[in-house]
Amino acid sequence: MKKTFLYLFGVIILLALPIIIWFFKDEKTVTIAIIDKTVPTESYREHKGLTWLLNHQRYVSESGEAYLADTDYYGFVPNEKEESYTTRDLPGDLSGTDLIYLADSYGVYEENLPWQTTEKKPGSSSMITGGLSMAEWNTIKQQVQAEGTDLVMEFNTFASPTPKEVATDINKFLGLEWSGWSGRYFVDLDSSDSEIPQWIIDNYEKNEAKWHFKGAGFILVNDDTGEIVVLSEEAGEIGSDGLHLTFTEQGTAQFNLTDSLLLVIGLILMKPLKERMS
């Protein structure tokens, strides 16, 4: 009986060891400005992984509190219980910030809200908020220039609905020239039952082409020209391995990459222009 008890006690200690180690791990203070304008529900999926990682690594805010996905970010703030929303605006001064993390700037549309019953599809003209304004970008840029704050930006910051002049200045500051192409993998390309933004289908059919796609595939959109390319698995236009991205010689030298990258859920094509700004 005693041996059984000791055995069970040892198993419990072994299972609890990671938690015990985590609990006694030193906390590290870091000030992070998380920006997420695409929060239609309380899942906080675009930045929740970051707050989880910060907590796992025992990073805390300046007040000593753990970072929370529902409160520690700037952007759209839904309230599913009350079927309402507010916005948490980015402050005009980010002094003392160690990291600026722009998780997503695509925005929120009326039909994305869980309490809405509208039949409009994502991407139609019902945007509530979205894109990065010039004032917001200037605040971010000023902080990076003034204090060397680390900056992480999701690729769609370059794309609509961010105004063209803002995207141009972002590219100039980062030393990039975005080709305008972005894309996403869809499990179902059927327009009658999918997450495909309605504006993509509308723009595709403007060229007297019928949206006839079914099954899984990639949709690539050029933000500058409006060109739309659909690659369907059903039509044999892509294999089971998805899409791969290859780099120019300059891109390979810049990022020290040699292998093609497998793209599963998205695509961005960028052309490096010069060395990263110090």
Local confidence pLDDT in tens for the 278 residues of the chain:
666 666 676 667 666 666 666 666 677 899 999 999 999 999 999 999 999 999 988 899 999 899 999 999 999 999 999 999 999 999 999 999 999 999 999 899 888 888 887 655 555 558 899 999 999 999 999 999 999 999 999 888 888 889 999 999 999 998 888 888 888 888 888 877 667 887 888 888 887 788 988 888 889 888 888 889 998 888 777 776 667 777 778 777 877 766 665 443 333 333 333 332 22
For residue 262, the model assigns a pLDDT of: 46
Burial 105-142 (b: 16+ CB within 10 A, else e): bbbbbebbbeeeeeeebbbbebbebbbbeeebbebbbe
- Give the bridge partners for 254, in sequence order: none
CA 37 to CA 42: how far, in whole Å? 13
Here the tokens at position 102 are: 């722009």
CA 9 to CA 157: how far, in whole Å? 52
Domain parsing of the chain, residue ranges: 22-174, 177-278
CA 127 to CA 146: how far, in whole Å? 33
Whose CA is closest to 35, among 84, 104, 99? 104
Q: Coil, strand, or helix at residue 149?
A: coil
Question: What residues contact residue 86 under an 8 Å CB cut-off, 6+ apart?
Answer: 77, 79
Query: What DSSP string runs through 56-99?
Result: HTTEE-TTSPBP-TTTSSEEEEEETTTTEEEEEPPPS--TT-SE
Q: Coil, strand, or helix at residue 261?
A: strand
The distance in angstroms from the start CA to the end CA of the chain is 66
